[in-house]
Amino acid sequence: MLPGAFGTLPSDSQALLRSSARTGRWSRGELLFHPDDPADTLHVLTRGAVRLYRLGSGAREVTIDVPGVGDLVGVRALVPGEQYGVYAEAIDDSEALLLGREPLTRLMAAQPAVGVAVTEQVTRQARGAQERLSGLVFLEVSQRLARALLALAEREGEWHDGTLALRERVSHQDLAHMAGSTRETVTKLLGDFRGRGLLDLGYRRIILTDREGLEQLVREPVR
């Protein structure tokens, strides 16, 4: 079954989508595309996670979003004549279905449900991007970090007795990108979270141990 909004499609539509696509694979740290590349391919992430970023003043990297499994990357491909406009870097070993604009257009004409799924997924991600931008303005770093951890947990599946081990390799730098902070600040906060019994830490492995505590932290920052 396909992830995200595409998982609700009938099995024949999912099969046609897969047959219309190529598969792309990237190792951690590889770029999927550059800002000036023609936006001619829509990526449907089926494994891993990708960081979308731009270069600010002094070549400082500014993270725009961190799509995960089921998300669309390179949505400008839906509009003819566009460039991607951002860097896309795999922050874990990643895999995606690659849909060229013409095959996707034909597929949506033959299977209108695919077009509905694309629209639903784009809308969902736009809402997530708006929430991320709002968080950068109105939330403190501790709140944003707690929300990022809960978002990762949502991708993983079910909690068991309030505990969930993140399967993805997540570095402190990855979390800094997701929380809009620095690695040093995130490392310090993770130590604080651990002291509060919210999580346990291993090498690039995080075990969340208090879901309610993290949810409370999203509402109220660390004091």
User: With contact defined as beta carbons under 8 Å apart, do 16 and 107 qualify?
Assistant: yes
pLDDT for residue 217: 93
pTM (2 d.p.): 0.82
pLDDT band at 165, cuts 50/70/90? confident
- Closest by Cα among 94, 122, 185 to 148: 185
Least confident of 27-36, 48-57, 159-168, 195-204: 159-168
φ, ψ (nearest 5 deg) of residue 208: -80, 130
User: What's the CA gap between 15 and 30, in Å, rounded?
Assistant: 28
Rounded to an integer, what distance in angstroms lies between the CA atom of residue 73 and that of residue 63?
Answer: 14
> Would you say residue 169 has pLDDT above 90?
no
Largest Cα–Cα distance in the chain? Answer: 56
Cα 96 to Cα 72: distance, rounded to the nearest angstrom? 9
| 8 Cβ contact partners less than 8 Å away, ≥ 6 residues apart | 117
**C-beta separation of 158 from 208 below 8 A:** no
